[in-house]
Structure 1
């Protein structure tokens, strides 16, 4: 009885992990089939059509200030992790402490400045960036840079220094990770066409935004999904074994 319940719990956790790992991969088949086009080449696209556009990001509203570097940007995503024993994270020993996003509308024009402005309005609820990360590393006994210190002091629930973890050698170090959409840089943006964005043609909602190629994005997402899928397979296998025992 108890072994069956424990097996069901393990199997359920495994399925939840599998969903977490597979969800970012759902868009890849459509993206790999899509032709990457210039912004001016989608004027005849149907409402709701999935398109992939490469262009230069330009501000269409006020720019944002990135949390850790202070750079002007059109949107950003951040996360804070801490090196802790027995944690499971991206680098195995980093545990998640905090994360957040901020975004606003911007436009894409031709990579060579050829025009064809295409409005882009990412959804703040489903905003994620597949762009290069800027990482500020702070040791457990180091003083953070002023901007990071002000961020930590203002962020509710984020302690200003590592606690008892700092007393353990090699632990307590933090990573302040920042990913941005920088004005003037080239990005690939993929998503559904919306003909009412900014009063004209645009992309809106749950978008793929990357500074990689399509192939590079696919490999990156597959690599990130490998660990949760492996853990999911182990949990499901153990759960099924317990149920069958």
Structure 2
């Protein structure tokens, strides 16, 4: 009976992790099937489109937290290298994350399209800028100012700093930079008599093919873990 209960628990956790890993892949077939359009060619509402153009500000820019660059939107994450299980292997534990964005335009020589990303579902598939700081090193000034005003980013614990290889933190930043080319996919809507791209969007600086490959790579680890847990759970039930 105990093996059955534990096995069912493993299976439930496996399915949860599997859904977490597979969910970002749901949009990939739609992106690969769609024909890439110029922003000025998008004229219909309530349709899934993939368009490519130059991002430009339509109102204002914001300051990215770690680089200090002015941008149209950013996503950040802070992780810390900690011990897993009995200490091997080391892995990056999530400490903090967040986003900020403003509406902007995606332009081509013939016109443009307003993009209004949702702050609740804002994910960037763009190149990351990563600052890695060892547990014994001082933080760069801008990152220190950021840490000072964020909750949940206390100094690295003493026992973590005492273990070689542990405590290093990664400060990861992804941005939408004005003047750069992006591929954006999503459903169009009509707002104030204009066609806009909004809500849950794919925003990437890659081609559709490379975007799909990048998401597949990110989904590999959680999917493998999910399969291991499900198989272990089934084994416990059989035993």
TM range (shorter): over 0.9
User: Match of 1:140, SS?
Assistant: coil
Residue in structure 2 matched with residue 171 of structure 1 by the alignment: 166
User: How far did 1:243 drift?
Assistant: 1.5
Larger displacement relative to structure 2 (221-230 or 156-165): 156-165
Deviations 1:133-163 (A, max 9, x none): 0011111111111010011111011114454
Equivalent pairs counted in the alignment come to: 236
Residue in structure 1 matched with residue 18 of structure 2 by the alignment: 18
Residue in structure 2 matched with residue 78 of structure 1 by the alignment: 76
- 1:230 and 2:224 equivalent? yes
2: distance between equivalents of 1:213 and 1:163?
44
| TM-score after normalising by structure 1 | 0.93
Q: Is there any run of 5+ residues in structure 2 with no aligned partner, and where?
A: none
2: distance between equivalents of 1:181 and 1:160?
30
The structure with the greater share of residues assigned to strand is: 2
Q: 1:37 to 1:98 in 2, by over 3 A?
A: same
User: How far did 1:23 drift?
Assistant: 0.3
- 1:140 and 2:135 equivalent? yes
Residue in structure 2 matched with residue 189 of structure 1 by the alignment: 184
Q: What's the Cα RMSD here?
A: 1.4
User: How far did 1:199 drift?
Assistant: 4.0
Asked if 2 retains the 8 angstrom alpha-carbon contact of 1:48 and 1:194, the reply is yes
Residue in structure 2 matched with residue 28 of structure 1 by the alignment: 28
Residue in structure 2 matched with residue 219 of structure 1 by the alignment: 213
User: How far did 1:229 drift?
Assistant: 0.3
| TM-score after normalising by structure 2 | 0.95
Asked if 2 retains the 8 angstrom alpha-carbon contact of 1:84 and 1:93, the reply is yes
Deviations 1:83-134 (A, max 9, x none): 11117xxx96111111111111111001xxx141200011111100000000
Residue in structure 2 matched with residue 48 of structure 1 by the alignment: 46
Q: 1:162 to 1:216 in 2, by over 3 A?
A: farther
Deviations 1:215-235 (A, max 9, x none): 000000001000100000010
User: How far did 1:164 drift?
Assistant: 2.2
Runs of 4+ residues deviating >2 angstroms? 160-164
Asked if 1 retains the 8 angstrom alpha-carbon contact of 2:80 and 2:95, the reply is yes
